[in-house]
Amino acid sequence: MNRHLNIFRPFSQNLSKENIEDNLSRAFVLSLENNSLFLHEFLRTVFLESNQEDLFKNMFADVSQTDACTIDIQVETTEVEKEFSKVFALAMSGKQMDMSGFHDNTPDSFKKHKTDIFISINDIAIVIEVKRDNTDCRKQLYKQVAAFTEDITIDTVFPLDFNWKKLMTLANRIQGFQTLMSTENQMLSNFIDLVQGHNANWLPVPPLASINNNAENIPKIKRRIVATLKNLESQGEKALNYHDRIGLELKFGWAKEIVINLSAEHNIKKVGNKTNKVNLRFGIWPGNTKGQGTQVLKRLKGKVNWTPPKEIVINDRAFKVEWGYEFKFCHYNRYVSNIIVSDQHIKPGKQLISSLVHWNHTGKYDKNQWNTLEAFLDEYLVDDYDWRMNLDWKGNFLETGRNYLTLSIGHQIETIVPVEYLQTIDTKMDNLEPMSAFIKDLKTAYKNLFE
């Protein structure tokens, strides 16, 4: 959906940090009011987790027109005059909070207290304090409740952590059910979209085992990979910070990143039975710069005719490795174009990864030296491989205003990991460790490439 058509995103409004809490609260309340299943399941969860399930069941057993349910936002609890027999106090923050010490807080009767959301169902109240981040709101929430409740005991006031991840897990489950029944609710869908735009980490990411393995689900598979990378960051790794690629940063000296690409097989295994199952391609580029190339040569010292392995073994499973030689062309330290060649594209007797090529043919070429570069490529690459066309030599260099380029020559190495295998280890939504361990093991295997 076009983001401007989202009910909760006014076309010209700047959703700044100052009003995002109000926007989130308002969107949540409107979704509750306009989706009875969402409201029912939210209330059921609140009562169930507060050990008040019987109260919830009885509350709707005999409803008359005199019964009342109101939901409001930005309520001054100091001005609430009605008495409530039960109060549920919900902390809605970005992180899970321990509410066991809630009753140990003290009230503050010398100031006004405003809560983000106030739900009243007859003589039962639900007070919700909303935070857009990981702010601890437990003391604030207690004072809001104390402003209209004299007797705060474990039998009358029930504190509950209802963090954003928990709420969005519920919201996504409701949306999934209503989509299945062809009753999808735009209000709820827009609410989920709004929250995702604010903090995508609050939305649940299903494990690969629950995702149908086909090309149409590549975005869903990618979300799970990104979640795994974020989990690795919590363990000291560093994920790539680019909008166009995902992976891990490396500090090997001879390579700086592992990039994870997703691709469909697009082949026919049986007559008339086409498969488009997805593979993950874990790419690494040793010698991607002149400096990295120097480090590669140090590690290849004494290793004559070294080539990358044909497979890498992780968890007793062998994964196919595809590789080639990369010629990478840059300008102002920015990638312009590249070509990937194999041994069959190199003339007999020529060796690309060597001190001779590294010190004499890689590095900076001013425009008046480009004919020398062309001669080098013609000398090393077979005649029937049209490197000029594959590189778009004219469009990228000859017919541009560029007055120099830089060339690096190294390897492109990709380990092919079928999603079908990862589905056997990634089976639980709240357990990213098997996937995280797999990626760390692959990183270690890459680190030991030259051993």
The DSSP 8-state label assigned to residue 9 in this structure reads S
Query: What phi-psi label fits residue 442: left (phi over 0), alpha (psi between -120 and 50 degrees) or beta?
Result: alpha
User: In b/e form, how buried is each residue of 394-403, taking b as 16+ CB within 10 angstroms?
Assistant: eeebeeeeee
Q: Classify 369 in phi/psi space as left (phi over 0), alpha (psi -120 to 50) or beta.
A: alpha
Supply the pLDDT for residue 9: 62
Give pLDDT tens digits for 330-388: 999 999 999 999 999 999 999 999 999 999 999 999 999 999 999 999 999 999 999 99
For 256-281, what is each residue's pLDDT tens digit?
Answer: 999 999 999 765 454 455 568 999 99
pLDDT in tens, 229-247: 988 988 999 999 888 899 9
Does residue 194 register a pLDDT over 90? no
For 347, which DSSP code? P
Q: Are strands 257-264 and 317-331 parallel, antiparallel or unpaired?
A: unpaired
* Mean per-residue pLDDT, 136-147: 95
DSSP string of 185-254, one letter each residue: -HHHHHHHHHHHHH-GGGS----GGGS--SGGGHHHHHHHHHHHHHHHHTTT--B---SS-EEEE---SS
Query: What is 128-148 written as a DSSP string?
Result: EEE-SSS---HHHHHHHHHTT
d(CA 327, CA 82): 75
Among the ranges given (33-47, 65-79, 86-100), the one the predictor scored with the smallest mean pLDDT: 65-79
Q: Could you tell me which of 21, 439, 11, 442 has the C-alpha nearest to residue 230?
A: 439
Question: Do residues 233 and 249 touch, judged by C-beta distance below 8 A?
Answer: no
Length, in residues, of the chain: 451
* Nearest CA-CA partner of 407 in 290, 268, 269: 290
Of 206 and 66, more confident: 206
DSSP string, 349-375: T--SSSHHHHHHHSEEEEGGGHHHHHH
Rounded distance, CA 288 to CA 294, Å?
A: 10
The DSSP 8-state label assigned to residue 77 in this structure reads G
| Residue 282 contacts residue 323 (beta carbons within 8 Å) | no
Q: Minimal CA–CA distance to 443: which of 312, 288, 318, 263?
A: 312
Report the alpha-carbon distance of residue 76 to residue 148 in Å, rounded.
10
User: Which of 37-51, 175-189, 252-266 has the highest average model confidence (pLDDT)?
Assistant: 37-51
The four Cα atoms 26, 27, 33, 39 give a dihedral, to 10 degrees, of -110
> Roughly what angle, to the nearest 10 degrees, separates helices 186-198 and 20-33?
160
| Terminal CA-CA length for the chain | 50
pTM for this one?
0.74
